Amino acid sequence: MKTFRKKPFRKSFREKASAKKPLRKASAKETFRESFIKAQSAMEYLMTYGWAILIIAVVLAALFQLGVFNPMTFAPKAPPGSCQVFRPNGPGTTSFINLEGVCSGELPQYVAQFNGNGAIQTNYLQNSVTAYTITAWVMVMPTQTGGVVVQDRGSGAGVSLVLGIGNADCWPRPTSGSVYYGVDTNGVCVGLASNNNYINGKWHQIVGTWSAPSGTPANSVQFSIYVDGNITPSTTWTNGGTPPTSPFTGLGGTVIGYHQAWNIYFNGNIANVQIYNTSLSANEIQALYLEGIGGAPINLQHLVAWWPLNGNANDYSGNGNNGQASNVNFVSNWYNGYTPP
């Protein structure tokens, strides 16, 4: 019978490891060589893929600058004319008026962009008023000049109510980016100018109110400026004249983005211009601001004109005061600088 010889057991891993020669410390030359090889590999990687990485970074930065990654980009947008005032008895009437359409304050699809050479001329005509409010949303970059937002041009007497930010002619503004509101009578300017600079690349709601009941003395006419729903610290000034007595007559021919006598165009963005033939209260202005840039009018009984500027220059107050835009762009990529109230 054949017998088998047993094979010796293999040495264990520990025994083999203990039998190895002890590790020696790498020399400085070997360490340098190894580091050089790694650095060379990294440089080869960057040379191969670096341009692609750089291009991707530039594209992402450009998209971010254009507002592609802004949450506002994906928010619901109201198309032009989605909300308007319905006056069943015709323009100028106030009985049974109401809002029709989607008027929940959604963001507009477009805003009006003024590049310093355009304006919107409307046929709005106001012959007599003892109280007044102009509201608008504006955004002016630090590299822009701003200018006249709304001018109610006087007919015959050369009288205008003017709401603006930044560049003006006869307003001695405390700061270069202040909001101003007042009366311009043949170059004699009276009104208010804010003490703060609002040319900062952000959207702001600006409001000017004016009140002069019949018989009010000239030096008792009341001006107020509101920014983002709150009354703002302002400087009262007089440039060689006094406020006109009531009733305030001769208003007409509203122009958005331009003052004809001063020859000053607006440079920036404007949205949601509203005009009331009353002086809105502080609570009403705060409520209007909280509706946001796409907010509907808040006092329909006294609303005389409403230009959302959402893609066109039409008046949606029901009074038919449509405007004619010249060298004005309606842009959809307006979201940068806007924070919902």
Residue-level pLDDT at 29: 65
Instruction: Give the tokens for residue 186.
Output: 């043949």
In 45-130, beta strands by DSSP E: 77-78, 83-86, 98-101, 107-108, 111-122, 128-129
Asked if residue 323 has pLDDT above 90, the reply is yes
pTM: 0.78
Asked if residue 261 has pLDDT above 70, the reply is yes
Q: Confirm if 324 and 268 have CB atoms less than 8 A apart.
A: no
Confidence of residue 73 (pLDDT cuts 50, 70, 90): low
With a cut of 60, say whether residue 156 has pLDDT above it.
Answer: no
So what's the pLDDT on residue 22?
54
Whole-angstrom Cα distance, residue 152 to residue 160? Answer: 5
Kindly indicate the confidence band of residue 260, based on its pLDDT and cuts at 50, 70 and 90.
confident
Lowest mean pLDDT among 20-34, 100-114, 229-243, 244-258: 20-34
Answer yes or no: are the C-beta atoms of 197 and 176 closer than 8 Å: yes
Beta strand pairing call for 77-78 and 107-108: parallel
φ, ψ of residue 105 in degrees (nearest 5): 80, 25
Average pLDDT score over residue span 201-219: 80
Give the per-residue pLDDT at 227.
97
**Averaged pLDDT score across all residues of the chain:** 82
Given this model, what pLDDT does residue 212 score?
74
**What is the pLDDT averaged over residues 182-201?**
85
Query: How would you label 305-321 residue by residue, b for 16+ Cβ within 10 Å and e otherwise?
Result: bbbbbbbbbbbbbbbeb
What is the residue type of 97? Answer: I
Percentage of the chain surpassing pLDDT 90?
A: 48
Examine the pLDDT at 122 and tell me if it is beyond 60: yes
The mean per-residue pLDDT over the stretch 119-123 comes to 92
User: How many CB atoms neighbour CB 303 within 10 A?
Assistant: 24
pLDDT at 125: 73
Confidence of residue 249 (pLDDT cuts 50, 70, 90): low
Q: How confident is the model at residue 70 (pLDDT cuts 50, 70, 90)?
A: low
* Torsion angle in degrees (nearest 10) through CA of 330, 66, 204, 321: 10
**Rounded mean pLDDT of 114-122?**
95
CA distances from 213 to 108, 120, 130, 192, 218 (A): 36, 30, 5, 19, 10
Strand, coil or helix: what is 231? Answer: strand
Of 73-82, 106-115, 155-164, the range with the highest mean pLDDT is 106-115
